[in-house]
Amino acid sequence: MTQQTKIEWTDFTVNFWEGCQKVGPGCDHCYAEARNQRFHGDNWGPGKPRRYVKGGIAKLHKINRGAEKFHEENGHWPRVFCSSLSDIFDNAVDKAWRLEAFSALEQATDTRPQLLTKRVGNVFQMIPQSWAMHWPRHIGLMITVVNQAEADRDIPKLLDLKAKLGISWVGLSMEPLLGPVRLDRIVSPKNWGENYDGWTFDCLTTGDYYTLFGEGPSLSGDGPWRDVAIDWVIVGGESGHHARPTHPDWIRSLRDQCEASGTPFLFKQWGEFAPFDPAGNETDRAVFKIGKKAAGRLLDGRTWDGVPT
Ligand code: SF4
């Protein structure tokens, strides 16, 4: 079975339903919404029905059946991005659809599903009860982070989930990157208790991390201090008609932070803007709107394709 998507950080996409609602600046130019409209769908926004994708579950099972062959040919188990045309933790979707999807994901043990969400606050309440006790080892969890405010707000929640549920790996999709982000200086939320409000920590460094969930169910040990960190960082600029530029130094800074901590870093794409003039010469700092294809994905002369083991 050959790789099926051109998305650089995965091998396959699987959708169980289509439709969503915008929740932040990263959604402003949602390609899935534009695609939905192009095919005359009306599945975006509050009150709009989501569209069930009939072949979604069957496709996942098929990838799972072909996983050994894929592994032989590619040296890794098939990575599956769920869901590229929706958010699996969307409040508005039929709960039965989500439970059906979770059950299929749990059974597809030879795949490596990548659950990517912009709704990390929903994860714990929406997963099946069995996952709260035994998160499936083959499934990873990723969140989108596009600026420092989202990093400070959502990364502590992701690390809490990793510590609480024993998730084998967690990652960040920083696309479209809309501002500089210091992952080594995340500021903790205001409800962490008087000693830890506004505490600054490095989310890339495995070490003592203070969690808030002491009273909740936990598989990762006792007490509030856990040994957890972000396992993967994917960065990219925006593509499409209304793309916003990403400063090359924002990307370099994240690359350098990942290198310093040994965190796998993947540079997905420049998007429409890149530090190359129309003649193809690399510029010092200015970016030009030269189009996604011409912009490519070289950063300082090479590709960056780190993935967690
Ligand atoms: S969460 Fe994802 S699918 Fe939903 S509107 Fe935002 S970008 Fe689009």
Whether residue 55 has pLDDT greater than 90:
yes
| Residue 287 contacts residue 245 (beta carbons within 8 Å) | yes
Full-model pTM = 0.94
Answer whether residue 101 is part of any domain. yes
Percent of the chain with pLDDT over 70: 95
Ligand 1 pocket mutation, candidates 28, 50, 85, 87, criterion most atoms within 8 A of CB:
87
- Residue 271 tokens read as 């998007």
At which of 125, 158, 184 does a domain end? 125
Ligand 1, atom 5, lies closest to the CA of 22
Whether residue 220 has pLDDT greater than 70:
no
Res 207: pLDDT:
77
**What does the pLDDT average to over 165-174?**
96
Residue 300 has a CB neighbour count (10 Å cut-off) of 12
Answer whether residue 133 is part of any domain. no
At which of 62, 95, 125 does a domain end? 125
Same structural domain for residues 102 and 169?
no
At which of 97, 125, 153 does a domain end? 125
**Closest ligand 1 atom to Cα of 20:** 4
pLDDT tens digits, one per residue of 238-278: 999 999 999 999 999 999 999 999 999 999 999 999 998 87
- Diameter of the chain by CA atoms? 60
Residues 6+ apart with CB under 8 A from 27: 20, 118
Res 211: pLDDT:
75
Query: 132-146, 157-171, 208-222, 286-300: which has the minimum mean pLDDT?
Result: 208-222
Average pLDDT, whole number, for the chain? 91
Distance, C-alpha 112 to centroid of its chain:
14
Answer whether residue 131 is part of any domain. no
**How many angstroms separate the alpha carbon of residue 58 from the centre of ligand 1?**
24
Whether residue 190 has pLDDT greater than 80:
no
| CB distance 86 to ligand 1 below 6 Å | yes
**Closest ligand 1 atom to Cα of 24:** 6
Res 215: pLDDT:
44
| Residue 19 contacts residue 49 (beta carbons within 8 Å) | yes
Same structural domain for residues 44 and 93?
yes
Same structural domain for residues 98 and 2?
yes
How many CA atoms are closer than 13 Å to the CA of 257, on its beta-carbon side?
A: 23
| Residue 8 contacts residue 265 (beta carbons within 8 Å) | no
Q: Which of the pair, 267 or 187, is modelled with greater confidence?
A: 267
Answer whether residue 155 is part of any domain. yes
Same structural domain for residues 291 and 208?
yes
Query: 91-100, 168-177, 224-233: which has the minimum mean pLDDT?
Result: 224-233
Token pair 């009150």 in the structure block, residue? 47
DSSP run (H or E) holding 248: helix 248-261
Ligand 1 pocket mutation, candidates 18, 23, 175, criterion most atoms within 8 A of CB:
23
Burial call 115-145: b when 16+ CB within 10 Å, e when fewer: bbbbbbeebbebbeeebbeebbebbbbbbbb
**Closest ligand 1 atom to Cα of 83:** 3
**What does the pLDDT average to over 3-17?**
92
Whether residue 218 has pLDDT greater than 50:
no
Whether residue 2 has pLDDT greater than 70:
no
Res 227: pLDDT:
81
Whether residue 219 has pLDDT greater than 70:
no
Q: Which of the pair, 20 or 285, is modelled with greater confidence?
A: 20
Answer whether residue 138 is part of any domain. no
Q: Which of the pair, 1 or 146, is modelled with greater confidence?
A: 146
| CB distance 48 to ligand 1 below 6 Å | no
Res 239: pLDDT:
95
Alpha carbon distance 32, 25 (integer Å): 15
Same structural domain for residues 181 and 302?
yes
Answer whether residue 130 is part of any domain. no
Q: Which of the pair, 59 or 224, is modelled with greater confidence?
A: 59
Ligand 1, atom 3, lies closest to the CA of 86
| Residue 233 contacts residue 172 (beta carbons within 8 Å) | yes
Same structural domain for residues 108 and 244?
no
β-bridge partners, 210: 225
**How many angstroms separate the alpha carbon of residue 204 from the centre of ligand 1?**
26
Same structural domain for residues 112 and 161?
no
Same structural domain for residues 80 and 191?
no
Ligand 1, atom 6, lies closest to the CA of 27
Same structural domain for residues 196 and 98?
no
Res 198: pLDDT:
83
| CB distance 101 to ligand 1 below 6 Å | no
**What does the pLDDT average to over 40-54?**
94
Whether residue 159 has pLDDT greater than 80:
yes
Same structural domain for residues 80 and 167?
no
Answer whether residue 227 is part of any domain. yes
Same structural domain for residues 149 and 25?
no
Ligand 1, atom 8, lies closest to the CA of 30
Answer whether residue 171 is part of any domain. yes
Q: Which of the pair, 200 or 305, is modelled with greater confidence?
A: 305
| Residue 1 contacts residue 66 (beta carbons within 8 Å) | yes
Same structural domain for residues 14 and 156?
no
**Closest ligand 1 atom to Cα of 23:** 6
Percent of the chain with pLDDT over 90: 80
**How many angstroms separate the alpha carbon of residue 110 from the centre of ligand 1?**
27
Look up the domain containing 88 and give its range: 1-125
Whether residue 133 has pLDDT greater than 80:
yes
- Distances 266 to 162, 165, 219, 244 between C-alpha atoms, Å: 21, 25, 30, 20
| CB distance 87 to ligand 1 below 6 Å | yes
**Total structural domains in the chain?**
2
| CB distance 138 to ligand 1 below 6 Å | no
| CB distance 92 to ligand 1 below 6 Å | no
